Amino acid sequence: MDESTERFLRLLNEQNTRIAAAAAEKEAEKKDLSDQLRLQRETERREKWGQLRAREHPGKRPHRANNVFPYIDLSHE
């Protein structure tokens, strides 16, 4: 390989490395900001509504199935 070609490839690799590092830093900043926003919103919801998890509401669940037809005892004929 020619010396100028080696120099060109080396410069190209260095430039690509710098671009990749800058992109990774920008992505990390963006992710960090979105995480902070998510955590802030979650704490606001907790303050407003209390615990943020699925809770059983015993008043809303059916206790037993409703029968459409009345019970018929077939043992007495």
Which is higher by pLDDT, 65 or 27? 27
Structure tokens at 51: 């615990």
Which is higher by pLDDT, 67 or 53? 67
Is 18's pLDDT higher than 80? Answer: yes
CB contact set of 46 (below 8 Å; sequence gap of 6+): 52
Phi-psi region of 69 (alpha: psi -120 to 50; beta: other; left: phi over 0): beta
Counts of helices then strands in the chain (DSSP H, E): 1, 0
Phi-psi region of 24 (alpha: psi -120 to 50; beta: other; left: phi over 0): alpha
Rounded Cα distance, 34 and 28, in Å:
10
Q: What is the mean pLDDT of residues 20-33?
A: 84
Is 57's pLDDT higher than 90? Answer: no
Is 74's pLDDT higher than 80? Answer: yes
Whole-number pLDDT of residue 54: 58
